[in-house]
Structure 1
Amino acid sequence: MVIVDVQEVLIPVVWRGTELADRIAVLATKARDRGVPVVALQQVGGEMFDPAKPGTRLAGRLRLQPSDTVIQKTATDGFYRSDLEAFLRSQNVDTIVLTGVATDYCVDATARSAVSHGFDVVLVEDGHAPVRHGDEEAGLSAEQIIARHNRLLRTAVHPGGTIQLRPATQVFD
């Protein structure tokens, strides 16, 4: 299971951030119970994600455990110049359960990169969110952004892997 950028600084600005973090925490517990490794990606770099600032920390609501792996990244794509692929390969992972923030940035980029790296992806359809006000320039609400990205990623063609969508209640049940 890969959790993308659920960090203290982002919880208040993403759509239903607290609810999302709590849903992801439940999924992470289910993953651990089934022996699935839990990886939390942490965006670092730039003013908003200065590692010295407390807001850059991963959200406490995730209830991460010492057995979980934290991988820092500096780009929207969780695989770009990070240890993510090496870690997943070392764990013999072929399918990633993907969740986190933001739908239209790091979740989208990481999902597409995962399949390009040969992984199958189960995107938690109600387990990712954009900023709470959506994309005002495009006239899209947060709900519309989520629906659009779920549709686009479900139908995307990638020769390396597949993307399936499942609601959080059906991912590990």
Structure 2
Amino acid sequence: MSKVVLLVVDVQNELINRQPYNVLSVIDNIKKLISTARNSKKEVIYVRHDGGNGSVLEKDSEGWQIFNDVSPIDGELIIEKRYNSAFLKTELKAYLESKGIHSIILVGLQTEYCIDATCKSAFDTGYKIIIPEETNTTFDNEFLSGNKLYEFFNYKIWNKRFASVLPIQEVIEILNNY
């Protein structure tokens, strides 16, 4: 496998504190992947959403901060974004190209918004995308539960179309062996 990076999208205080679907397992799994990536000298890149003035994700607010359990260490890149896709009007694509990255392990929030948009943008740009099971989450809405949204996007929309949705242990092996 070509060079791989772990991309942690929008794991921010406000979203985690609202208790999305399966949040404890999701955070635990993301922590495992971050630890594995760091130990195997793979880069971890964070993406943080700025919802604008007055938003619960307003820049520099408590809700905007990256959730402490998965926060970056010194030297890890944080990409600031204003749109659902981590690629739109950010330096992410240029940065990945400069590092020779061809594969992205994608985790974070929210499944049907920023993870979906980032997955499809990465796919359109030619990246191989890996989505570990139980590493993205979202909230119930008026149409579907967070659980149903998770299952629908992971197994019906993304898997074998835009990405490979894999058990977390397989992704840990990828991080350790490539």
The aligned runs of 1:60-75 (5 Å cut-off) are 60-75=68-83
Contact 1:11 1:59 in 2 (8 A): yes
Over residues 81-113 of structure 1, what are the superposed CA-to-partner deviations in whole Å (9 max), with x where a residue is unaligned? Answer: 011111111211100000000001100110000
Q: Which moved more, 1:11-20 or 1:21-30?
A: 11-20
Question: What is the alpha-carbon distance in structure 2 between the residues aligned to residue 166 and residue 155 of structure 1?
Answer: 10
The match for 2:104 is 96
* Structure 1 segments (4+ residues) deviating >4 Å: none
Matched, 1:40 2:46: yes
Report the CA distance between 1:38 and its aligned residue. 0.4
Q: CA RMSD in A?
A: 1.4
Structure 2: gaps spanning 5 or more residues: 1-5, 174-178
Of 26, 31, 35, the residue aligned with 2:32 is 26
Question: What is the alpha-carbon distance in structure 2 between the residues aligned to residue 18 and residue 60 of structure 1?
Answer: 14
Percent same amino acid at aligned positions?
25
Matched, 1:146 2:150: yes
Question: What is the alpha-carbon distance in structure 2 between the residues aligned to residue 25 and residue 68 of structure 1?
Answer: 15
What amino acid sits opposite 1:28 in the alignment?
I
Question: What is the alpha-carbon distance in structure 1 between the residues aligned to residue 58 and residue 96 of structure 2?
Answer: 26
Larger RCO (CA within 8 A; separation ≥ 6) = 2
What amino acid sits opposite 1:3 in the alignment?
V
Question: What is the alpha-carbon distance in structure 2 between the residues aligned to residue 102 and residue 41 of structure 1?
Answer: 12
Structure with more helix by fraction: 2
Structure 1: gaps spanning 5 or more residues: 157-161
The match for 2:168 is 168
- How many residues align? The count is 164
